[in-house]
């Protein structure tokens, strides 16, 4: 999958890249879905996808916290109070939902990557993060991310 970053951008409303994610978004403190702003969607985008992953989790592929497909390229936000026609794929515990940060106690600071993908095709079904990356990597027009941190 090429790393194409031009104009596509994703930004969390309540924390900047590299900052601690507020507690209300954590699994143990409300599990509220953060509101994410989208801009700079490239021409030719058929749909957007969003994957939230913690590569610091002690698992071979990290831990996937949220998988979202079918985001309208005209959408300005995803998550939070925004409602759209998107659909969710399975996260790391097999649920089709957001699950917030919850690193193991004493495990230090974890990094949560909110990856936004602009695709030249629609995603079929509800693939896991790994299935999506394997099947749709060549369909990524552009991608970008923001990163928040959290520790127990």
Q: What is the mean pLDDT of each run of 10 residues along the chain (152 residues)?
A: 74 96 95 96 97 95 96 93 83 95 92 98 96 96 97 88
User: Where are the alpha helices (H) located in 29-137, listed in sequence order?
Assistant: 129-136
The vertex-135 CA angle with 75 and 102, nearest 5°, equals: 65
Lay out the sheet containing 77-79: strands in order across.
9-12, 35-39, 77-79
pLDDT at 52: 98
Q: Residues 87, 33: contact at Cβ < 8 Å?
A: no
The SS3 of residue 25 is helix
Strand partners, 10: 38
CB burial of 39-51 (b: ≥16 within 10 Å; e: otherwise) equals eebeeebebbbbb
CA pair distance 10, 147, nearest whole angstrom: 10
Q: Residues 24, 32: contact at Cβ < 8 Å?
A: yes
pLDDT in tens, 7-47: 999 999 999 999 999 999 999 999 999 999 999 999 999 99
């Amino acid at each position: 999958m090429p790393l194409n970053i031009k104009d596509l951008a994703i930004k969390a409303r309540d924390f900047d890249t590299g900052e601690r994610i507020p507690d209300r978004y954590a699994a143990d403190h409300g599990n509220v879905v953060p509101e994410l702003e989208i801009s700079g969607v490239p021409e030719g985008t058929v749909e957007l996808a969003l994957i939230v992953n913690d590569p610091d989790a002690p698992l071979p592929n990290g831990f996937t916290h949220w998988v979202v497909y079918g985001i309208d390229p005209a959408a300005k936000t995803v998550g939070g109070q925004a409602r759209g026609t998107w659909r969710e794929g399975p996260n790391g515990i097999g649920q089709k939902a957001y699950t917030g940060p919850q690193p193991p106690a004493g495990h230090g600071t974890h990094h949560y990557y909110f990856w936004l993908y602009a695709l030249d095709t629609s995603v079929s079904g509800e693939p896991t993060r790994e299935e999506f990356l394997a099947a749709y990597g060549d369909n990524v027009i552009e991608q970008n991310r923001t990163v928040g941190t959290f520790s127990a």
